[in-house]
Structure 1
Amino acid sequence: MIEHNGTNEKELVITRMFDAPRELVFKAWTEPDHLEHWWGPKGFKMNVSKLELCPGGIFHYSQKSPDGHQMWGKFVYRDIVAPERLVFTNSFSDEEGNTVRAPFSPTWPLEILNTLTFAEHEGKTKLTIQGGPTNATEEERNTFEAMRDNIQQGFAGTFEQLADYLSKV
């Protein structure tokens, strides 16, 4: 499925079925005690600095690599319909929560708008994430598009961690 985000750019759409009830999958995305167990690259230590689950609220976190490198990121929530949908912008940040450039690319978009939908099906949850740059320059949109395969691989790994975590809670 390919969607357009109003700028004629294709959004990235990833769908994954999880063997867990929708309420639990939604909580895994919205509660610090769950997020710290699975969000981020494999092998990284996750720390939730702040999570305010409301429109305009912020999820501010850090991730530390096995070699000690620390990165900060944040979500700014736009819309929350528990347990059906989450809409937020995602960006890299500094320790204070200010939006900063990605450490790996000076042309990575500052903000990615994400819409997550959670659909219950026979006790399982179909999660669909749609996302793409927002308020981005043409160069930033091109960088995002060039990294599409890497983004999909990253989410595949993160979703594997989520599936593993959900099987244990």
Structure 2
Amino acid sequence: MNETEYKDLHMTRTFDAPRDLVWKAWTDPKLLAQWWGPHGFTAPYCELELRVGGKYLVHMQDPEGNINPMNGVIQEINPPEKLVLLTQISFEMDGKRPEANILTTFLFIDKGSQTEIKLVAHPVKVDPELADAINGMEEGWSQTFEKLQALFTK
């Protein structure tokens, strides 16, 4: 498969928290570490350089204890309304290290005591070995958003 065979993922979710708090959960590494990743995954290490061209790195740890690094560059940032990330995902698989690059746009829409997030994830480059990961993005983001909402209801 090549990048032209993957469709963009479009998702919208509403969170029971004001926009400034939701933005902070995305941009404060200590908060990000509390909710990032699908169910069963943790994020023991997060760093974020909040500026255009700034780098970020999240060590996503799977239930077996394997670290799956996600890193990338901030393409656009307009606090607290918009965040655009170019993410590189690379996993060790059978002695190889295939990659996927995804351009993801997050819009944070103020709804008073709630915040709506609109996500568009555009696969830019995907090595064939990561096809399942790319095809599972919707489920992964849905679970990640559930964990984010749980952060606001603690």
**TM-score range normalised by the length of the shorter chain:** 0.7 to 0.9
CA contact (8 A) 1:21 1:123 kept: yes
Provide the secondary structure at the position in 1 that maps to 2:146: helix
CA contact (8 A) 1:117 1:129 kept: yes
Which has the larger share of strand? Answer: 2
Pairwise CA distance, 1:131: 1.0
Partners of 2:100 and 2:73 in 1: how far apart? 12
Pairwise CA distance, 1:65: 2.6
Pick one of 131, 140, 143 that aligns with 1:157: 143
| CA distance 1:13–1:73, change in 2 (3 Å) | same
| CA distance 1:81–1:47, change in 2 (3 Å) | same
Instruction: Normalising by structure 2, report the TM-score.
Output: 0.83
Task: Say whether residues 1:70 and 2:64 are aligned partners.
Answer: no
Partners of 1:66 and 1:107 in 2: how far apart? 20
Partner deviation per Cα, 1:137-156 (whole Å, 9 max, x = no partner)? 7x76xx37x943x2111111
Deviates more, 1:68-77 or 1:18-27: 68-77
**Counterpart AA for 1:151:** M
Task: Say whether residues 1:122 and 2:112 are aligned partners.
Answer: yes
Pairwise CA distance, 1:13: 0.4
Pick one of 111, 122, 131 that aligns with 2:121: 131
CA contact (8 A) 1:50 1:59 kept: yes
Runs of 4+ in 1 over 3 A off after TM superposition: 7-10, 101-109
Q: CA RMSD in A?
A: 2.7
| 1:27 aligned residue | 24
Which one has more relative contact order, counting CA pairs under 8 Å at least 6 apart? 2
Task: Say whether residues 1:166 and 2:136 are aligned partners.
Answer: no
Partners of 1:18 and 1:108 in 2: how far apart? 34
| 1:95 aligned residue | none
Partner deviation per Cα, 1:32-63 (whole Å, 9 max, x = no partner)? 11101000122323123532111111111212
| 1:16 aligned residue | 13
Instruction: Normalising by structure 1, report the TM-score.
Output: 0.76
**Counterpart AA for 2:138:** Q
User: Structure 1: 5+ residue runs without aligned partners?
Assistant: 1-6, 93-100
CA contact (8 A) 2:54 2:74 kept: yes
CA contact (8 A) 1:109 1:133 kept: no
**Counterpart AA for 1:82:** P
| CA distance 1:65–1:8, change in 2 (3 Å) | closer
In percent, how many aligned pairs have the same letter?
Answer: 34
